[in-house]
Structure 1
Amino acid sequence: MKRFWDRAALAEAEGRFSVLLDGKPMRLPGGESLALAHRPLAEAIVDEWDQAGGGAKGATVTPGLLPMTQLAATATLRIAPAPAETAAAIAAYARADLLCYRAEATPALLAQQDAAWQPWLDWAEKRYGAALLVTRGIGFIDQSPQALAALAAAVAAQDAHALAALGVMVPVLGSLVLGLAIIEGEMNATEAYGLSVIDELYQEERWGRDEDAAAHRARAGDDVSAAATYVRLTRGAA
């Protein structure tokens, strides 16, 4: 979309917050407006609209410049009216959580995975009562119905904002457990993403750096960080 405003500002009415662009309510591409319950989130959205496009009218504004806006729109307009479908889709990642699949023929990589990943499976069992099984190789392993139900309940208990964030983080990480650990405040986004790319970094150490792969990791890591920031903002933290 093209930048058509000079200045973004925060407006408050009846305990709700919205974004004004040159004094007029900001509207999404579909024509919807956002009324936000969390001042820190609203302030962050004002800031990203204020900075989008580099300050020049007519400049192209890409969706990547507005991550908080995108997540807020997803949470309030798409997920909040019917959260169960989104929660079920996210919970399905527990059936093949990355942390459960360890290296089969590379002892050094297996040792790294065991040391880095097992503590988080242990955490999930303690926190949610979800004992996930571990295998070596890429062959699918069936998880117990009890563990899957426990993790599904944990996801279903999240609000629309957390579900929106998990909807970004979990597919990138390949791990519902890591996503929940971020949501719970048990680890930060950088640590979680680092755990999710142990395999890639191990191969890079052996065979050399691939710049395209590194650039992809940087973008993916930014997406996870933005989603984690979004959750913090909806919980009153900057």
Structure 2
Amino acid sequence: MKRFYSDAAVVPADEGYAVVLDGRPVKTPGQRPVAAPTRALAEAVAEEWQAQGETLDPAAMPLARSLNSAIDTSDEQRAAVVTSLSRYAETDLLCYRAAGQPDLAERQRYLWQPYLDWAAERFAARFALAEGVMPVVQPQATVDALAAAVARFDRFRLTGVHLAAGVTGSVVLALALEARFASAEQVWTAASLDEAFQAELWGEDSEAAERRAGIAAEVRAADRFLSLLDAG
């Protein structure tokens, strides 16, 4: 789609701060006005619109995509997102340690265990660990505790946490990012640990490098979205 506007700006609105293009409201795919709960987030989304060239590139607008998703999330969809996040607790990346690779298993323990200890203290969520890829059944109390934790988020914050969990495979890492227990770089390092270890041993092909770069970009986007919700 060709660019159809000159200027993107932010104006006060009933829903918070609306993004406008040449004074006209921007609409989500669900035809709702694009408005953020904080001026900082609205201004960042407007900057994404302003930075577009002659042809619009949605891939270059991660904040706008996340904001649209949050706005268009119905109550029913919100409940589905909460359920989806609670299911990540059943298969969380941090619970699966390498079998037959003691060096990798030790690195996983060193890097991942602090997050599990934090979750146990913060949410009373204690995970069972496993070696290899065979599923391990997590205590129902743990799944319920994390479901309750994410259910408390509004639809904006829930969107950022869901994005982080989806790209990392870990609701614990996503919650650590939201709570500022860990930075985006720390979360990305934890989420891509296995790939980084294998790259050290065997080298990294272009496909693997692209995948790791994609994880990093998505984690940073989720982190910035959540940070702008806190910025006021």
**CA 1:172–1:14: 2 relative to 1, 3 Å:** closer
Are the aligned partners of 1:181 and 1:187 in contact in 2 as well (CA < 8 Å)? yes
Backbone CA RMSD of aligned residues:
1.6
Counterpart CA distance in 2 for 1:201 and 1:13 is 46
Which of 200, 209, 213 is 2:204 aligned to?
209
Cα offset, 1:230, TM superposition: 0.6
TM-score (norm 1): 0.92
Counterpart CA distance in 2 for 1:106 and 1:82 is 41
What is aligned with 1:10? 10
One-letter amino acid of the structure 1 residue matched with residue 32 of structure 2: E
What is aligned with 1:91? 86
Cα offset, 1:34, TM superposition: 1.5
Cα offset, 1:85, TM superposition: 1.7
**CA 1:15–1:108: 2 relative to 1, 3 Å:** closer
Counterpart CA distance in 2 for 1:219 and 1:185 is 22
Q: How does 1:89-238 map to 2 (within 5 A)?
A: 89-236=84-231
Are the aligned partners of 1:79 and 1:86 in contact in 2 as well (CA < 8 Å)? no
**CA 1:141–1:214: 2 relative to 1, 3 Å:** same
Cα offset, 1:80, TM superposition: 5.6
Counterpart CA distance in 2 for 1:158 and 1:13 is 22
Residue 67, structure 1, aligned to residue 48, structure 2? no
Runs of 4+ off more than 6 Å = none
Cα offset, 1:14, TM superposition: 5.0
Counterpart CA distance in 2 for 1:12 and 1:171 is 32
**CA 1:190–1:52: 2 relative to 1, 3 Å:** same
Deviations, residues 104-133 of structure 1 (Å, cap 9, x unaligned) = 100110110011111111111011001101
Residue 52, structure 1, aligned to residue 47, structure 2? no
Cα offset, 1:81, TM superposition: 6.6
Of 67-76 and 43-52, deviating more is 67-76
Counterpart CA distance in 2 for 1:79 and 1:3 is 30
Are the aligned partners of 2:40 and 2:231 in contact in 1 as well (CA < 8 Å)? yes
Among all aligned residue pairs of Structure 1 and Structure 2, give the percentage whose two residues are the same amino acid.
Answer: 35
Aligned to 2:117, what secondary structure does the other structure show?
helix
Counterpart CA distance in 2 for 1:13 and 1:74 is 19
One-letter amino acid of the structure 1 residue matched with residue 40 of structure 2: P
One-letter amino acid of the structure 2 residue matched with residue 191 of structure 1: Q
